[in-house]
Amino acid sequence: MKFIKNKKKILFLTSTRADFGKLRSLIKILKTRKEFKVYIVITGMHMLEKFGNTYTEVKKHFRSKIIKFKNQSLGDRLEIILSKTSERFSKIVKKIEPDLIVIHGDRVEALASALVGSLNHILTAHVEGGEVSGTIDDTIRHAVTKLSHIHFVGSPAAKNRVLKMGEIKKHIFNIGSPDIDVIIKKKLPSMKDIKKRYVIKFDNYSILLWHPVTSKINTLREDTNKLIRFIDKLNENFIIIYPNNDPGSKIILSCYEKIKDKKYKVLKNLRFEYFLALLKNAKYIIGNSSSAIYEAPMLGTPAINIGDRQHKRMKSKIIKNLSIDEMEILKIYKFLKSYKKIEKKFYGYGNSDKKFLNILLNPEFWNIPKQKFFSDLKKN
CA distances from 68 to 8, 25, 71 (A): 21, 20, 10
Mean pLDDT of 62-86: 93
Q: Which CATH superfamily is domain 8-177+347-367 in?
A: Glycogen Phosphorylase B; (3.40.50.2000)
Q: Model confidence at 42, in pLDDT bands (50, 70, 90)? A: very high
The pLDDT value recorded for residue 318 is 65
Query: Is residue 17 scored above 60 in pLDDT?
Result: yes
Determine phi and psi for 304, rounding to 5 degrees. Answer: -120, 110
Mean pLDDT of 188-206: 94
Residues facing residue 11 across a β-bridge = 39, 101
SS3 assignment, position 193: helix
Q: Name the residue among 107, 177, 114 with its Cα closest to residue 145.
A: 114
Q: Model confidence at 332, in pLDDT bands (50, 70, 90)? A: confident
Mean pLDDT of 262-274: 90
Q: Model confidence at 379, in pLDDT bands (50, 70, 90)? A: low
Whether the full predicted model's pTM is greater than 0.85, yes or no, is no
Query: Is residue 343 scored above 60 in pLDDT?
Result: no
Mean pLDDT of 264-289: 92
Determine phi and psi for 211, rounding to 5 degrees. Answer: -110, 155
Distance CA 136, CA 72 (A): 19
Distance CA 262, CA 239 (A): 11
Determine phi and psi for 209, rounding to 5 degrees. Answer: -135, 105
The pLDDT value recorded for residue 1 is 46
| CATH among 2.60.15.10, 3.40.50.2000, 3.20.20.140, 1.25.40.10 for 188-338 | 3.40.50.2000
Distance CA 147, CA 151 (A): 11
At 213-262, the pLDDT tens digits run 888 889 999 999 999 998 998 889 999 999 988 889 999 999 999 888 88
Mean pLDDT of 344-357: 78
Mean pLDDT estimate for the chain: 89
The larger pLDDT score, comparing residue 374 to residue 292, is at 374
* E strand residue ranges, 49-191: 66-68, 100-104, 123-127, 150-153, 172-174
Identity of residue 96: I
The pLDDT value recorded for residue 207 is 96
Q: CA angle, 130 as apex, 125 and 134 as ends, to 5°?
A: 135
The pLDDT value recorded for residue 69 is 97
DSSP string, 25-48: HHHHHHHT-TTEEEEEEE-GGGG-
The pLDDT value recorded for residue 327 is 73
Mean pLDDT of 147-172: 96
Mean pLDDT of 327-353: 70
**Percent of all residues in the chain with a pLDDT value above 70, rounded to a whole number:** 92
The pLDDT value recorded for residue 12 is 98
The pLDDT value recorded for residue 342 is 52
The pLDDT value recorded for residue 297 is 81
The pLDDT value recorded for residue 345 is 54
Where exactly does CATH 3.40.50.2000 map onto the chain? 8-177+347-367, 188-338
